[in-house]
Amino acid sequence: MSKNTEISFSLRNPCNYSCEYCIGKGVHNSIIQHDMKKLYDIYELTGSFVFTVFECGTGEPTLHPQIKDILFLMKNYGTISMPTNNSISPKNWLLKDFAKSMLLNITIHPQAEKEIDSFTERLVEIRELGSVINLRYIARPDRMHNIQRLKDYFEIRGFDIKGIPFEGSYNGKEYPISYSEDEKKILKIDDNKNYWYNRLKIEMKRDFEGIPCLAGSSIFNIGPQTELRRCPYDTKQINQPLIGAKPCEVKRCGCGCYLEELNVFTPNYWNYVRSISNYPPIENDDRTDDQIYQEARLIYWDLMKRYKKV
């Protein structure tokens, strides 16, 4: 079986939007250039397939001056997942050379709603170039009323919208638990067909400190200065991949589940991201998402008790 590696890649530059619900709230990153030779050397350390997931802070990656060179390098190693607000014409940054290696997480922000026709035109261009599109909508409580209208608009144009549940406090209520039953159905929060990790993370306490984690051995972070790190939340630089799982050293982890005993790296996960860039599949997992969720939930709570987190 071919080795699979995931890299979260930190890119820093400003954004051309100022969304109210953004963690930056109008305070944008400055441009930080990456060392392309160093970036190449890091990718050469990895296995035969790399899934690169962009971590862009409060920036819009398509505005970064090195974006074409970075994407061209990464496509030689596997699949790329990148968020974008789809405000920039793909003619300015998306080349056929790497378009078919990309999963684009495109979010419909309030500014995009004001220019929905041109936003859609850019979506069609991206689809024609061959990238996989994951069209998303941040379902903050005050924006829920727009979801059905947008779903209908995009459905007749061949696109499906996924509502992303809001996580946090709003008007004195905690979300996602405070959504109404109808809203939960729209967002598929309690749907047993929903991706198992999306269901599990709603009840997660993200304190994994001391629990053996794969970060640094089969998952890495490339920081804003092209430094190799275990993950975006552990800022200590490492010189080379670690051997095996090591205890997490972060008090509060905001990344996905990469624990040795519980992680998103199921065969189905890898086969999906490998298929985007036409890599051969590995042995599949016959379990349904609901079966994986039920098993993962038991493992999660066992870990929390074993490591005295609850």
pLDDT in tens, 202-247: 888 889 999 999 999 999 999 999 999 999 999 899 998 999 999 9
Distances (CA, A) of 214 to 89, 244, 264, 302: 37, 7, 11, 18
pLDDT reported for residue 159:
97
For the cut 70, the answer to whether the pLDDT of residue 187 exceeds it is yes
Q: Which pLDDT band, with edges at 50, 70 and 90, does 27 fall under?
A: low
CATH code assigned at 72: 3.20.20
pLDDT reported for residue 247:
96
pTM to 2 decimal places = 0.92
For the cut 90, the answer to whether the pLDDT of residue 201 exceeds it is no
Q: Which pLDDT band, with edges at 50, 70 and 90, does 1 fall under?
A: very low
Query: Is residue 109 within 8 Å of 77, Cβ to Cβ?
Result: no
Q: How many structural domains is the chain composed of?
A: 1
Q: Compute the average pLDDT of residues 102-130.
A: 96
Mean pLDDT score of the chain, rounded to an integer?
Answer: 92
Q: Structural domain of residue 110, as residue ranges?
A: 4-306
Q: Flag the least confident range among 98-107, 109-118, 141-150, 181-190.
A: 181-190
Q: Compute the average pLDDT of residues 103-125.
A: 96
